[in-house]
Amino acid sequence: MTTPMIPEQRQQEILRMLQGAGVLSTRELTDAMRVSHMTVRRDIAALETAGLVVAVQGGVRLADRPLKEPPRDRIVRSALELPSKRAIAAAAAARVRDGSVVFLDAGTTCEAVVPHLLTRSGLTVVTNDFTTVVALAPHDHIDVIHTGGLVDHHRLSAHGPLGVAVVRQLAIDLYLMSAGTWSVPDGVTVPEADTALLKQAVLEVSHASALLADSSKFGAFERYRVARLAELDLVITDDRLPDEAADAIRAPGTEVQLVSASA
């Protein structure tokens, strides 16, 4: 007997099926997952609220690629794409060497890296993220530097010229960069100029850089460019990224690491 899926698993399965079919009927979904019509309708409603699908008469289709980044609110974003975030975070942590200085960007994917760092030795973690600071504070074998700056109450982070001034006094071994929107033509983009300036400052003082972003954010863009993907050393994303997109990112020499979205 098959173990029933929890809502998050069902919703991920709906998205996976839609990636191949584009549009599915409610009947197709109920048959495939062996759940009731009402259960499927609830899952579709949850995905539609997150902006990932659009309910149509008798079924559902994938939403058009957004031009704007995912919801700003940290609590909302923390519930999105959890399997991909965890797999990306684990792969990123494997790139961190003992004794190094690492910049952990603000965001829920970079936050997921933190548990993997707790057994490392000699680390210095620099961040503009308050949640990361709180998570690392009890672990006195890891040195933690917060950049300071203007507080973003929705993202629980800081940005702006004060943070930029701190970053420019540092030498970073590895920058683990987050992104709400990214694409081949536009690179990594953000909605606020101050956020772009801080990310660019970190990139300038870092010996190596890696973008941590799941494929659901790919193809979207915002007003301010942080960097083109060719300026980064590595992109870690999930294996739902289209092959042609991965090839385009690799073409200028950027490494692409694809992790299992179901990990």
pLDDT band at 49 (very low <50, low <70, confident <90, very high): confident
Residue 166 resides in a domain:
yes
In-domain check, residue 43: yes
Would you say residue 68 lies in a domain? no
**Same-domain status, 147 and 36:** no
Q: What is the Cα gyration radius of the chain?
A: 19
Look at residue 1 and tell me whether its pLDDT is greater than 50.
no
| 136, 224: one domain | yes
- Work out the percent of the chain whose per-residue pLDDT is above 70: 89
Q: What is the CATH number for 53?
A: 1.10.10.10
Based on the fold, state whether residues 115 and 242 are members of the same structural domain.
yes
Segment 212-220 mean pLDDT: 89
Asked if residue 68 has pLDDT above 80, the reply is no
Residues 6+ apart with CB under 8 A from 109: 85, 88, 89, 178, 212, 213, 214
Residue that finishes a domain, picked among 35, 62, 89: 62
Of the listed ranges 3-17, 104-118, 140-154, the one predicted with least confidence? 3-17
Residues 86 and 199 in one domain: yes
> What's the rounded Cα separation, in Å, for the pair 64 and 105?
28
Per-residue pLDDT at 78: 47
On the CB side of 74, how many CA atoms lie within 13 Å of its CA?
Answer: 16
Q: Are residues 229 and 167 in the same domain?
A: yes
One domain for residues 110 and 198: yes
Residue 123 contacts residue 100 (beta carbons within 8 Å): yes
Q: Between vectors from CA 91 to CA 238 and to CA 249, what angle results, nearest 5°? A: 50
Domain shared by 160 and 52, yes or no: no
Full residue range of the structural domain in which residue 114 is found: 74-259
Distance of CA 158 to the CA centre of its chain: 18
CATH number at residue 189: 3.40.50.1360
User: Domain for residue 173, yes or no?
Assistant: yes
93 and 156 housed in the same domain: yes
The answer as to whether 143 is a domain residue is: yes
Q: What angle do CA 153, 158, 164 make, to 5 degrees?
A: 160
Is the residue at 232 inside a domain? Answer: yes
Last residue of one domain, picked from the residues 38, 62, 86: 62
From residue 45, how far is each of 18, 38, 59, 182, 254 by CA, in Å? Answer: 15, 10, 11, 26, 38
Q: Does residue 70 register a pLDDT over 80?
A: no
pLDDT in tens, 99-132: 999 999 999 999 999 999 999 999 999 999 999 9
| CA–CA separation, 147 and 157 (whole Å) | 10
Q: Could you tell me if 57 and 78 lie in one domain?
A: no
Sheet of strand 234-238, all strands in order from the earlier edge strand to the far edge: 143-146, 124-127, 101-104, 172-178, 206-212, 234-238, 255-259
Quote the mean pLDDT of the chain: 88
Given this model, what pLDDT does residue 71 score? 54
**52 and 79 in one domain?**
no
* Distance separating alpha carbons of residues 40 and 59, to the nearest angstrom: 10
Domains of the chain: total = 2
The CA distance from 162 to 226, in Å, is 18
pTM over 0.85: no
Does residue 69 belong to any structural domain of this protein?
Answer: no
Same structural domain for residues 84 and 41? no
Q: Give domain status of residue 17, yes or no.
A: yes
Are 107 and 43 part of one and the same domain? no
